[in-house]
Amino acid sequence: MTPRPIAVVGASAAGLAAAEALRRFGWTGPLTLIGDEPHPPYDRPPLSKQLLHGTWEPERLRLRTQEQLAALDLDLRLGTRATGLDAATRTLTLDGDMGTSPDEQGRERSTAVEKLDCAGVIIATGVTARTLPGADGVAGVHTLRTLDDALALRGRLGDGGRRLVIVGSGVLGCEAAAVARELGHDVTLVGSGPEPMAAVVGTEIGELLAEEHRARGVTLRRGTVDGFETDGSAVTGVRLAHGSGGAPADKGIAGGGAVTGGAAAGGGGGTVLPADTVLLAIGSTPAVGWLAGEPALDTTDGLRCDAYCAAAPGIYAAGDVARWDHPVHGRPLRFEHRMNATEQGMAAARNLLGELAADGVFEAGEPSARRPFAPVPYFWSDQYGIKIQAYGPTAGADRVETTVLDREARRAVALYGRDGRAVGVLATGLPPRLLRALRGVIADPLPWEEARARVATAMAAD
């Protein structure tokens, strides 16, 4: 009897890491990797930086060559969408109507709706970009989540002198603003918070970023978006709601986080920001809609998992979609960053095989025992010449202490606390060796005053 496959849903960085780890840890049975895009697994962080800028081409984003993928002996289903999961029987419903998909020999394979009975499932479907009412079908309005999104926006910015309005001044919006200014476009960055990226980095680091964006020629506005002005088919402006016209750019006000939308294009509203191109960078939604009908799964803010990344027996999750019990921080976390995707993909694979070994489905080699997934979360952002790097969950901190070392050079360090303990640290413009020392401060969250003293000692030694 042919053994049932393990299926990895999501041909992403997390999904590929899971597939590779399954093979490395000894799974020799059928292995299906399912992706709803037609592209082989690629890296997403460069989409808003090198690819959008035009310094990289799509081929450079591929995570593995065709030969490396072939060596994994995958049943690779590109252009195929998972539309349902019966968690009790571990049966996936797949819809291949999105197009044909080549098999491992490169032959076009007929695709259709099918049921896939699995030994185990790893869900790595990531997130989808949020949009606003009235945006659909308006030429010049873009989101930036996929390779095709990035190429469409790059094509738009290939023409000089665009008036670009970016709605949302979180990490994605700020990175795209930096690239667009370097390409010579007129850029306005609109957000709902007090400073760029404030929800993630705090107000004082946000102020430094605001200063850099203003110095580079970005106009910063604070407000909520009410809709779009059009000439009938293409965008001509972004309309801010009454009473949210923002403050002058020299006040340094910009936002971070989601921006709400209201009326559809063409309705009334407040201030209109002229635009021939709009990027909606207002956050994302975990791609769990296809799981909503499965009562055994909790899909509130991602797929809820235990400390082992298990959402149900034989069902695991990894990457942006997973909200798991972090054993160190003692609360559920969902972390939308690249390093976590790879690490969690490997952890989910290890723990699924540990479960299958315990059930007698898999003859374990090493490792066989499940382990809690307890990373030190890490993220980075590149904007102009500034590299921002952070360890730990900085969002949601109830206490932030920032030390600005050199305002002109945008060099600073910030410590983030929660419930009396230091949980995160962020640095801009600091050398890697110092950043590694700062990581040690929050790897095992310390009491706030002890962590402050250790940060001070590390900075004094610089």
Mean pLDDT in order along the chain per 10 residues (462 residues): 88 98 96 98 97 98 97 98 97 75 48 89 98 95 98 93 96 98 97 92 96 97 94 95 55 34 43 97 97 95 98 98 96 95 98 94 77 95 94 95 94 96 95 85 94 91 70
Residue 378 burial (C-beta neighbours within 10 Å; 0-12, 13-18, 19+): middle
Question: Which pLDDT value is given to residue 159?
Answer: 81
Question: Which pLDDT value is given to residue 339?
Answer: 94
Give the N- to C-terminal CA distance of the chain in Å, as an integer: 63
Is residue 217 within 8 A of residue 193, CB to CB? The reply is: no
Spatial distance between the Cα atoms of 109 and 68, rounded to a whole number of angstroms: 21
Whether CATH 3.30.390.30 fits 385-460: yes
Is residue 334 within 8 A of residue 126, CB to CB? The reply is: no
- Matching fold, domains 6-126+287-358 and 385-460: no
Q: Name the β-bridge partners of 191.
A: 222
Dihedral pair phi/psi, residue 427, rounded to 5°: -140, 145
State both tokens at 319: 């990457």
Spatial distance between the Cα atoms of 198 and 171, rounded to a whole number of angstroms: 10
Q: Which three-class secondary structure state does DSSP give residue 97? A: coil
Question: Which pLDDT value is given to residue 432?
Answer: 79
Class of domain 131-283 (CATH, top level): alpha beta
Angle made by CA atoms 256, 259, 262, in degrees to the nearest 5: 170
Question: Which pLDDT value is given to residue 123?
Answer: 98
Question: Which pLDDT value is given to residue 247?
Answer: 45
Is residue 82 within 8 A of residue 125, CB to CB? The reply is: yes
Is residue 91 within 8 A of residue 85, CB to CB? The reply is: yes
Cis peptide bond N-terminal to 367, omega within 30 = yes
Question: Which pLDDT value is given to residue 335?
Answer: 95
State the CB neighbour count (10 A cutoff) for residue 26: 15
Q: Report the CATH architecture of 6-126+287-358.
A: 3-Layer(bba) Sandwich (3.50)
Listed by start position, the domains of the chain span 6-126+287-358, 131-283, 385-460
Spatial distance between the Cα atoms of 428 and 212, rounded to a whole number of angstroms: 12
Per the confidence metrics, is the pTM higher than 0.85? yes
C-alpha 328 chain-centroid distance: 22
Contacts of 116 (CB under 8 A, 6+ apart): 5, 7, 32, 91, 92, 93, 94
Contacts of 64 (CB under 8 A, 6+ apart): 16, 40, 41
Question: Which pLDDT value is given to residue 262?
Answer: 36
Is residue 392 within 8 A of residue 424, CB to CB? The reply is: yes
| C-alpha dist (Å) from residue 395 to 168, 205, 257, 418 | 16, 13, 11, 10
C-alpha 384 chain-centroid distance: 20
Contacts of 428 (CB under 8 A, 6+ apart): 205, 208, 386, 387, 388, 389, 410, 411, 412, 413
State the CB neighbour count (10 A cutoff) for residue 258: 19
Spatial distance between the Cα atoms of 43 and 125, rounded to a whole number of angstroms: 14
Tokens 């990490």 sit at which residue?
171
State the CB neighbour count (10 A cutoff) for residue 427: 24
Spatial distance between the Cα atoms of 450 and 409, rounded to a whole number of angstroms: 28
Amino acid (1-letter code) at residue 285: T
Spatial distance between the Cα atoms of 324 and 314, rounded to a whole number of angstroms: 15
Spatial distance between the Cα atoms of 57 and 405, rounded to a whole number of angstroms: 37
Is residue 90 within 8 A of residue 352, CB to CB? The reply is: no
What count of Cα atoms within 13 Å lies in the side-chain half-sphere of residue 405?
15
Spatial distance between the Cα atoms of 22 and 9, rounded to a whole number of angstroms: 14
Spatial distance between the Cα atoms of 270 and 238, rounded to a whole number of angstroms: 10
Dihedral pair phi/psi, residue 303, rounded to 5°: -95, 115
Is residue 236 within 8 A of residue 275, CB to CB? The reply is: yes
Dihedral pair phi/psi, residue 223, rounded to 5°: 170, 180
Contacts of 114 (CB under 8 A, 6+ apart): 93, 94, 96
